[in-house]
Chains A and B, each alone.
Chain A
Amino acid sequence: MRHLPVEPPPFFHRGPSPLTRLAVFALLSLALLFTDTRYRYLENIRRVAAIVLYPMQRIVQMPGGALAYVGTYFSSQRTLADDNAALQAQLLSQAPLVQGYPAVEKENARLRGLMKLETRIPVDATAAEVLYSSRDPFTQKIFVDKGEAAGVQAGRAVIDSVGVVGQVTRVYPYMSEVTLVTDKDHAVPVKVERSGVRTVMYGAGAARPPELRYLSPSVEIEPGDLLVTSGIDGTYPAGLAVAQVVSVERETGLSFAHVTCKALAGIDNSAQVLILGSTASVPPRPDEPSDPAAPRKGRGRRKG
């Protein structure tokens, strides 16, 4: 027969009261929250912990993967045939574009050469699978299964078959974190495909649609317009589809139009994504202006 413990274990015998303990740990958490949001000092700790936890996460994901594999094995011939037909039709419909592309590419290169414009760098890409989406309801992030080992770097653009998904923000050895275009204050430089108006699309979190800020009410933009990347930031290559304009409100009382959009890519449900290689050829930053008076004056004032 077991004996009931007669005295409490010495560990918690004379500790501080629960309320004191809670206060200490709550303050510690608040300090951590503050440091992490403001200074991002803790990236290294996060890296080490992520490496330790990685094998565990992969083991957890194994049963799901195996189940999905077995599921595809039993998918009916009917579905496969339908899929096949749909893909054939898609291929055929894109054939004229694809066949014409090399000729256009060559012509474009020649014209650019004539005009002494920078040639467009062909972009290499890495296919990656989406592992899971972040459980943090305040941010919009997904995790993909390619990391440092596959040559992924932070800042790479990520797309799926429809449009831009987001941007790689953290790279671990075997996976990386992608911040979606709908994340709050994630900015994508875009232009309206129809009219060529350049602007920046800002994400607004999960609950609200992305928006275009600081557009004058007279700007040429309509609901249904396609927004494509303008390529001027050096992160996203030019010409990738990003979003579609949903609503344009032009109120005479306001100095800016209120434009909301809808991201095109299957933000919440795409299973495969493409991590684009570096777009390279970003021109070096311009030299500091030779006249030191003008810019420094402004900076000094802000500091003081």
Chain B
Amino acid sequence: MPPFVAARPEEILLPVRPWFIVLTLLVGLVANTLPMSGMALTLKPDFLALVLLYWCIQEPRLIGVGVAWCLGLMMDVVDATVFGQHALAYAVLAYGAGYFRRRVLRFPLWQQAAQVAVLLLLSSGLVLVVRIAGGAPPPRWTYAVGSLTGALLWPLVTVLLQWPQRPQRSPSER
């Protein structure tokens, strides 16, 4: 079995450990606070949104709209944005993930990435509408780039986060 391939839909994964979910979400939050400016800042995806999306799709019983909303509030503090901006985006993202999860998992990874791109663009578009309605100036046209790089990273995120859950095959099965 090649190491860096995602699980097929029919493959049964080991149960996830809750501390691993917490740890990865924390890593996502920390990755979002990386100091960046210029080009890197434009390209930077929302890591926390990606990790959150993954767990919303894989473990909808543990991670849902409520957890996403709380994480969004934390992100608002870290970014010093207006309170509720990330919270709204993540809540919508979590709901979208819950809605689409059964369908998304049926597709190969790169097609999943396309659907993830739509979800990310939707949630950032909603934030755009709300903020502009609140009197914010229109951002640069590069506003959507982060969502697209996020979608490109989706296969990598999936494979990495799935890694501890892949069952260890016995040598005879190989």
Contact = CB atoms under 8 A, between A and B. Distances in A.
Interface of A: 2, 4-5, 8-9, 11-12, 18-19, 21-22, 25-26, 28-37, 42, 45-46, 49-50, 53, 56-57, 60-61, 64, 130-139, 141-143, 170, 177, 184, 204-208, 268-269
A50 B32 CA distance: 15
Contacts of B79: 134-136
A203 B141 CA distance: 18
Contact of B77 (A25, A46, A132): A46
Contact of B87 (A32, A142, A269): A32
Given A25-B66, A136-B79, A207 B87 contact: no
B166 interface: no
B41 A133 contact: yes
B139 A26 contact: no
A22 B143 contact: no
Contact of B138 (A19, A25, A35, A205): A205
A149 B74 CA distance: 24
A9 B61 contact: yes
Given A22-B92, A22-B95, A269 B78 contact: no
A29 B78 CA distance: 17
Nearest to A183: B137
Interface residues of B, number: 48
Contacts of B83: 32-33, 35-36, 42, 45-46
B80 A177 contact: yes
A31 to B, nearest CB: 7
B98 A18 contact: yes
A272 to B, nearest CB: 14
B140 A33 contact: no
A37 B135 contact: yes
A40 to B, nearest CB: 10
Contacts of B88: 25-26, 29-30, 33
Nearest to B78: A53
Contacts, number: 150
B38 A25 contact: no
A297 to B, nearest CB: 30
24 contacts: A4-B15, A12-B61, A18-B65, A22-B92, A22-B94, A25-B88, A28-B69, A29-B72, A30-B84, A33-B130, A45-B83, A46-B80, A49-B74, A60-B35, A61-B34, A131-B35, A133-B41, A135-B36, A137-B143, A138-B81, A138-B139, A184-B136, A204-B137, A205-B137
Nearest to A43: B83
Nearest to A24: B65
Given A26-B92, A135-B32, A207-B137, A36 B77 contact: no
B82 A33 contact: yes
Contact of B134 (A28, A37, A53): A37
A22 B77 contact: no
B111 interface: no
A184 B138 CA distance: 10
Given A25-B87, A25-B91, A61 B35 contact: yes
B99 interface: yes
B14 interface: yes
A28 B107 CA distance: 34
A33 B134 contact: yes
B158 interface: no
B69 A268 contact: no
Interface string B90-133: 01101100110000000000000000000000000000001100
A292 to B, nearest CB: 35
Contacts of A143: 80
B138 A18 contact: no
Interface string B1-37: 0000000000000110000000000000010111111
A220 B163 CA distance: 68
Contacts of A53: 33, 74, 77-78
A21 B38 CA distance: 37
A8 B81 contact: no
A37 B82 contact: yes
A297 B160 CA distance: 69
B62 to A, nearest CB: 8
Nearest to B91: A25
B130 A137 contact: no
B41 to A, nearest CB: 6
A138 B84 contact: no
A5 B15 CA distance: 9
